[in-house]
């Protein structure tokens, strides 16, 4: 079984395709990845924060530390490049069952189903 990025959106930015960051080199954008099994119906939500190094520096300072899970660092905003990159990374996630695949996707983005005993696709 292989994962597929079925949709990419933001709960905070209505028209993500037309959105331009106010500061091109300092922004943070929360994204929702809807991921499901390739060739099958259903999807689950994974959350990811896309940030620039300058935003990290402004938020955490030069002595700060940031763990990278659920975080994608980019140097400029390009939705198409971000979408392409995430689609490639998600499709590299394979396994014998959907829960196995979803756990691999959860290494990229925070999985809403992580920690639940029951895994169900929407």
pLDDT (tens digit, 9 = 90+) per residue, 61-88?
A: 989 888 878 999 999 999 999 999 999 9
Instruction: Report the distance separating Cα 50 and Cα 29, nearest Å.
Output: 5
Residue 14, in any domain of the structure: yes
Residue 119, in any domain of the structure: no
Alpha helices in 1-122 (DSSP H): 53-60, 79-91, 98-105
Structure tokens at 5: 């990025």
Per-residue pLDDT at 11 exceeds 80: yes
Residue 52, in any domain of the structure: yes
Task: Give residue 18's domain range.
Answer: 3-111
Residue 83, in any domain of the structure: yes
According to the model, what pLDDT value does residue 69 have? 82
Chain mean position to CA 18 = 19
Residue 121, in any domain of the structure: no
Residue 18, in any domain of the structure: yes
Per-residue pLDDT at 119 exceeds 60: no
Count of CB atoms within 10 A of residue 92's CB? Answer: 12
Instruction: Work out how many domains the chain is built from and give that number.
Output: 1
- pTM score, whole prediction: 0.88
According to the model, what pLDDT value does residue 67 have? 83
Per-residue pLDDT at 28 exceeds 80: yes
Residue 79, in any domain of the structure: yes
Residue 39, in any domain of the structure: yes
């Amino acid at each position: 079984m292989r994962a597929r990025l079925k949709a990419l959106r933001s709960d905070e930015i209505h028209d993500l395709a037309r959105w331009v960051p106010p500061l091109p080199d300092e922004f943070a954008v929360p994204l929702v990845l809807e991921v499901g099994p390739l060739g099958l119906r259903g999807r689950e939500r994974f959350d990811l924060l896309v940030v620039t190094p300058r935003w990290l520096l402004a938020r955490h300072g030069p002595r700060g530390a940031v763990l990278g899970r659920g975080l994608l660092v980019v140097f400029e905003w390009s939705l198409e490049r971000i979408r392409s990159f995430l689609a490639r990374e998600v499709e590299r996630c394979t396994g014998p069952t959907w829960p196995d695949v979803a756990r691999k996707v959860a290494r990229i983005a925070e999985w809403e189903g992580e920690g639940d005993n029951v895994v169900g696709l929407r």
